[in-house]
Amino acid sequence: ESALELENLSLWYGDKQALKEITLRVPKNRITALIGPSGCGKSTLLRSLNRMNELIDGCRTEGDIRLNQRSILAGSQDLAALRRRVGMVFQRPNPFPKTIYENVVYGLRLQGVRDRRVLDEAVERALRAAALWSEVRDNLWQNALTLSSGQQQRLVIARAIAIEPEVLLLDEPTSALDPISTLVIEELMSTLKQHFTLILVTHNMQQAARVSDYTAFMHQGCVVEFGETDELFTTP
Ligand code: ADP
Ligand code: ADP
């Protein structure tokens, strides 16, 4: 079953075409890695999935993207609603300069959740799912910026999954981290796929081979190969 379906997706920045008729099915509850050389369009593809590209002047899209069977491009979709369906994690951990607790409940507060018990439960659930709970449970009122960068990245993941998005986009989530924190996040991604669909942009082939179930190779704006990671990375 597919969580995301891209149909002949093309994207231009002015007259430069960055994505070329991409057709792709992203399987549900799996990790799909996007890999390819710098400038091939990985970030552009990721950012088109939550329509962040639209903020860029002269950016134009053709084709369609369906998230769980619903087109996210057609008509005047509510962008705030789309952001709730699509979580995003960037290369540099970017927690808000607020308490750990307030970071995790951020999206829920935007949705109008007020009940303190509901928020408390969501905080514990998200922090456990992000493998951070035991490290921060006694410090939920501490400023998030006091955490290590590996912990900050897990906190950002907790913030993203607290509102239970339909897909979680990760744009080189470990490339600013030390090797140990990287392994922790890689292990975490593998457990998260039980509940979420993950798309991982990485320039690290070994990481794609270690953690992803499916891999899409991109080159000059095209997906030139897509398949099960085990098969693509096996040398015959
Ligand atoms: P990758 O993530 O694979 O390194 P990008 O998606 O960042 O690739 O870039 C794809 C292509 O689009 C590149 O040629 C890049 O120069 C171009 N590009 C990216 N962002 C912009 C932008 N805001 N304006 C114009 N061109 C851009
Ligand atoms: P606690 O161990 O107090 O329940 P944690 O947030 O450390 O809280 O972990 C939550 C659950 O996830 C635990 O069952 C733990 O064994 C497991 N876990 C811890 N770290 C990871 C990880 N990196 N990847 C996957 N699961 C993990």
Which listed ligand is nearest to 37 at the C-alpha? 1
Is 48 close to ligand 1, i.e. is its CB under 6 Å away? no
Nearest CA to ligand 2 atom 22: 188
pLDDT single digits (tens) 160-180: 999 999 999 999 999 999 999
- Count Cβ atoms within 10 A of the Cβ of residue 11 and give its class: 0-12 exposed, 13-18 middle, 19 or more buried: buried
For residue 159, which of 187, 123, 135 has the smallest C-alpha distance?
123
Query: How far is it, in rounded angstroms, from Cα 42 to Cα 79?
Result: 21
132 CA to middle of ligand 2, Å?
7
pLDDT in tens, 110-137: 999 999 999 999 999 999 999 999 999 9
Q: Is the pLDDT of residue 75 over 70?
A: no
- Atom 27 (ligand 1): residue with closest C-alpha? 13
Angle formed by the axes of helices 116-129 and 100-110, to 10°?
120
Any ligand 2 atom below 6 A from CB of 194: no
Q: What is the pTM of this model?
A: 0.89
Is the CB–ligand 1 distance for residue 15 below 6 Å? no
**Given this model, what pLDDT does residue 60 score?**
93
State the pLDDT at residue 73: 87
First to last CA, the chain: 28
Ligand nearest to the CA of 58: 1
Candidates 3, 98, 13; CA nearest to 48 is 13
Ligand 2 atom closest to 137 (CA): 3
